[in-house]
Amino acid sequence: MSAGEDVGTGGDHPTHSLPDPVVSPELYDEEYYRNACAGYAEWNESEGARVAGIYPGALHLAKLKPGEVVVDIGTGRGEMLAVAVKNGASRAVGVEYSPAAVEMALHTLAVQEAGDNAEVLLADARSIPLPDAMADLVTMVDVVEHLAPDELHRTLSEARRLLRPGGRLFIHTMPNRTIYEVTYRFQRWLVPGRRKRWPSNPRNDYERSMHVNEMTVTSLRRSLDRAGFRPVRVELGAMIYTDFVPDDRAKRIYRILAKVPFAARLAVCDLFGYATKP
Instruction: List, in order of start, the domains of the chain with CATH numbers.
Output: 3-173 (3.40.50.150)
| pLDDT of residue 11 exceeding 60 | no
Q: Are 55 and 79 in contact (CB under 8 A)?
A: yes
DSSP for residue 180: I
| pLDDT of residue 24 exceeding 80 | yes
Secondary structure of 106-148 as H, E, C letters: HHHHHHCCCHHHEEEEECCCCCCCCCCCCEEEEEEECCHHHCC
DSSP for residue 20: P
CA 268 to CA 266: how far, in whole Å?
6
| pLDDT of residue 119 exceeding 90 | yes
Please confirm whether the linkage preceding 14 is cis (ω < 30° from 0): no
Quick count: other Cβ atoms within 10 Å of Cβ 38? 17
| pTM assigned to the model | 0.94
* pLDDT score for 7: 35
CA 40 to CA 52: how far, in whole Å?
8
- Mean of the pLDDT values across residues 154-169? 98
Element (H, E) at 223: helix 217-226
Q: Please name which of 89, 144, 96, 130 lies closest in space to residue 112, comparing C-alpha atoms.
A: 89
CA 122 to CA 93: how far, in whole Å?
11
∠ CA 175-177-179, nearest 5°, is 85
- Mean of the pLDDT values across residues 226-248? 97
CA 151 to CA 142: how far, in whole Å?
15
* pLDDT score for 6: 43
Q: Measure the CA dihedral 239/175/80/60, to 10°.
A: 40
Confidence of residue 17 (pLDDT cuts 50, 70, 90): confident
Amino acid at position 123, single letter: A
| pLDDT of residue 16 exceeding 80 | no
CA 81 from chain centre, in angstroms, equals: 14
Residues whose CB is less than 8 angstroms from the CB of residue 167 and which lie 6 or more positions away in sequence, other chains included: 133, 135, 136, 137, 138, 276, 277
The pLDDT tens digits for 49-96 are 999 999 999 999 999 999 999 999 999 999 999 999 999 999 999 999
Q: Are 231 and 276 in contact (CB under 8 A)?
A: yes
- Mean per-residue pLDDT over the chain, rounded: 95
